[in-house]
Amino acid sequence: MAYRMHINLELLDAVHLTCAMLLEVPNMAGRAGIHRGRETVLEMLKAKIEEEALRTYIFRYCSSYETVSLDQLTKMFDFSDAQIHSTALTFQLTREAFGTC
């Protein structure tokens, strides 16, 4: 099969994860049971997109680094140390489960 007919699996995975995240945000807002208005949903969506950006960065560059500075990630993504640590720990656990990196 010609190369131009192949679908880039990384692009397909990124589109799938983005769509899944966008579909999940209204469910998360509904489960909260509190109707906080449009701005709260937008803030939640922004936070989820930023978290997925961090996870994507870790996934993309995990094979290039042996270690990454928590301070460096905090500066790059403007997250607290606890948010970076939580996301990285979750990624590490799922990475082991799926065998990536």
- Domain map of the chain by residue range? 3-98
d(CA 71, CA 92): 18
- 49-72 pLDDT tens trace: 888 888 888 888 877 877 778 888
Comparing 27-36, 39-48, 74-83, the range with the smallest average pLDDT is 27-36
In the predicted structure, residue 34 carries a pLDDT above the cut 60: no
Q: Are 79 and 54 in contact (CB under 8 A)?
A: yes
Closest CA to 91 of 72, 71, 73: 73
In the predicted structure, residue 98 carries a pLDDT above the cut 50: no
CA-derived radius of gyration, the chain: 16
